[in-house]
A and B are shown apart, each in its own frame.
Chain A
């Protein structure tokens, strides 16, 4: 019962990664590396589509976690303080993301028709300038460096506060967070347009950035939910993270499930209704042959099933139900990105084999390793945050 939660004894001991987790993440990175080298030599087209999908999947989690931290600071939220470190751990992928982004530039000529001078003249008007390679790379680099810089500011201040307990750092982070949200809104939109929408450079959708964003935040909440379930009663932390935090992250997960469906439908309905050739090509590609199944799977497993499952209060407070839904959402986030990338290259026949699995596993290994290192080096809870008492007393009423 919640009322008794308040009197839980607080315990915080340094994180020691289970040996199996360490070995798994090493093995994952190794498998990913082998797949990458193999693909680079043998099957570059397939490698780069797979690389792009998995790369964006993990970038979405890292920047999504950054956004979670930022909006909680901006809203001066107290309840989320004790789980903020979990989100901060997810942002530890960002330095890797910078390197992975530079690697992706190598693959531009396999992925984007605008990167090939022979095809670039097919673009018209303003798009010629917007999709000039130097301009795309410039925006891309600004996004990656900007995220890294804001992470350095916000997460850096949060970690400093663990030692000094200085309240001023929270006020500083409020300003940094507002800055990040503005930066994120503009540059993530362009990032998703540049990397995903421009795979089909003749296609237009003004809501596209928001579509990728909504899926990213939904997936971020799923990862947070899994971490909370795993860590709330672990041997490292006790009492700081409770069922109440799990419930609220579950609510966010459900909320962003609805938000994703809302945005996805808004994009679809307007294009379907207006029926203009340069807009409908996107959906025509995805409604032919094998892609129909994937499109409907998105509707059912990314919206209907998680939404109905998370509707009852008890579902969000039940560990196995919440983890089950979270895993489903993460799988569907991959399918969603896959659905955005692959139909541009493989007409009518979804391709999925070890090229996709290997690269995904490799990135998962990098992501896990980043989190393990972060938790080993830092406290698992922001112990000296001035709003900690609110998080400890957090209680969700009926």
Chain B
């Protein structure tokens, strides 16, 4: 969940996938909104557990694809019909079957590049030297991070909640 900027907060470290999945659901049910789950690999069902909405990327891809298609149509029309008309094999200047591969390729190119670009923008990548909570989170541990600006945040409450949910360790994070 995209944090606006680095924030302090409290993180609970879990050792089991099932624990963190259940913890995420419980944290959401307790009313927190801006929390994040950090796992070393994609955990099935985590989106629902965290209440993450579906990303808007497919719309970017679709619109970019349509723009690419129109660009391909424009390019082929401009080059073959208006800028430099050539008679090839007696076929009409505007021969759609011959243009379709170019239109298709440009559709794919625009859609793919714009999706990657949009992904970078949405995820605020590249992040140089991002803050880490625990280095084991990239291999075998899981974490739930609740930032201090979240609705109803209080240090006692969050620490107790995470402990109750089975966190192996609860620690204060200066910035994440």
- A-side residues, CB < 8 A to B, are 1-3, 6, 265, 268-269, 272-273, 275, 311, 313, 393, 395, 397-398
Report yes or no: B97 in contact with A273, Cβ–Cβ below 8 A: yes
Q: Looking across the interface, which residue of chain B has its beta carbon closest to that of A266?
A: B101
A6 to B101, CA, bound (A): 43
Partner of A398, one of B25, B47, B89, B101: B47
Q: Are A273 and B98 in contact (CB under 8 A)?
A: yes
B14-73 with Cβ < 8 A to chain A:
21, 25, 42, 44-45, 47-49, 54-55, 58, 62
In-complex Cβ contact of B45 among A6, A269, A273 (8 A): A6
Interface flag for B1 (CB, 8 Å): no
CA distance A388 to B100 in the complex (A): 43
> Which residues on A sit within 8 Å (CB–CB) of B21?
3
Given contacts A265-B97, A269-B100, A313-B54, 5 further A-B contacts (CB under 8 A): A3-B21, A3-B49, A269-B97, A272-B97, A397-B47
Cross-chain contact B55 with A398 (CB below 8 angstroms): yes
Which A-B residue pairs are the 3 nearest by beta carbons? A3-B45, A3-B48, A398-B54
B55: nearest chain-A partner, CB-CB? A398
Residue contact A269 to B54, C-beta cutoff 8 Å? no
Chain A residue numbers with a CB within 8 Å of B42 are 397
Measured CA separation A313–B101 after assembly (Å):
27
A3 to B22, CA, bound (A): 11
* Interface positions of B (Cβ within 8 A of A): 21, 25, 42, 44-45, 47-49, 54-55, 58, 62, 89, 97-98, 100-101
Closest to B42 in A: A397
What are 14 A-B pairs at a CB distance below 8 A? A1-B48, A2-B48, A3-B44, A3-B49, A265-B97, A268-B97, A311-B62, A393-B44, A395-B44, A395-B45, A397-B44, A397-B47, A398-B47, A398-B55
What separation, in Å, do the CA atoms of A6 and B17 have in the docked complex? 15
Contact B45 A2 (CB under 8 A): yes
Q: Which residue of A lies closest to B54 (CB)?
A: A398
Report the nearest B residue to A272, measured CB to CB: B97
- CB contacts (< 8 Å) of A3 on chain B: these are 21, 25, 44-45, 48-49
Closest chain A CB from B105 CB (angstroms): 13
Specify which chain B residues have a CB less than 8 angstroms from the CB of A395 in the assembled complex.
44-45
Which chain B positions have C-beta within 8 A of A398? Answer: 47, 54-55
Cβ contacts under 8 Å, B97 to chain A: 265, 268-269, 272-273
Give the chain A neighbours of B101 by CB distance below 8 A: 269
Contacts of A269 in B (CB 8 A): 97-98, 100-101
A63 to B: closest C-beta gap in Å: 30
Min CB distance, A222 to chain B, in Å? 23
Q: A262's closest neighbor in chain B, by CB?
A: B104
Residues of A within 8 A of B55 (CB): 398
CA distance A98 to B174 in the complex (A): 73
Q: Are B89 and A275 in contact (CB under 8 A)?
A: yes
- Inside 8 A of B25's CB, which chain A residues have their CB? 3
Write the chain A residue with the least CB distance to B90: A275
A275 (CB) vs chain B CBs: closest residue:
B89
Cα separation A3 to B43 with both chains bound (whole Å): 11
User: Which residues of B have CB within 8 Å of A6?
Assistant: 45
What's the Cα separation between A272 and B97 when bound, in Å?
8
Q: Which residue of B lies closest to A311 (CB)?
A: B62
On chain B, the residues within 8 Å of A397 by CB distance are 42, 44, 47
CB neighbours (8 Å) of B98 from chain A are 269, 273
The closest CB in chain A to the CB of B101 belongs to A269
Contacts of A1 on B, CB cut-off 8 Å?
48
Q: How far is the CA of A273 from the CA of B54 in the complex (A)?
A: 44
Residue ID in chain A nearest B45 by CB atoms: A3
Smallest CB separation, B45 vs chain A (Å): 4
A310 CB to nearest chain B CB (Å): 13
Closest to B62 in A: A311
Taking CB atoms, residues of chain B closer than 8 Å to A272 are 97
Which A residues touch B54, using CB under 8 A? 313, 398
Say how far A286's CB is from chain B's closest CB, in angstroms: 15
CA distance A275 to B21 in the complex (A): 61
A375 CA to B58 CA, complexed, in Å: 39
Q: How far is the CA of A371 from the CA of B14 in the complex (A)?
A: 49
> A2 — which chain B residues lie within 8 A by C-beta?
45, 48
A274 to B, closest residue via Cβ: B89
CA distance A268 to B54 in the complex (A): 39
CA distance A395 to B43 in the complex (A): 10
Kindly name the residue among A272, A313, A397 whose own CB sees the greatest number of chain B CB atoms within 10 A. A397
Cβ distance B85 to chain A, nearest Cβ, rounded Å: 18
Residues of A within 8 A of B62 (CB): 311
> A398 CA to B58 CA in the complex, in Å?
10
- B70 CB to nearest chain A CB (Å): 16
Q: How far is the CA of A393 from the CA of B62 in the complex (A)?
A: 30
Considering the complex, give the chain A residue whose CB is closest to the CB of B98: A273
Residues in chain A near residue B89, CB distance under 8 A: 273, 275
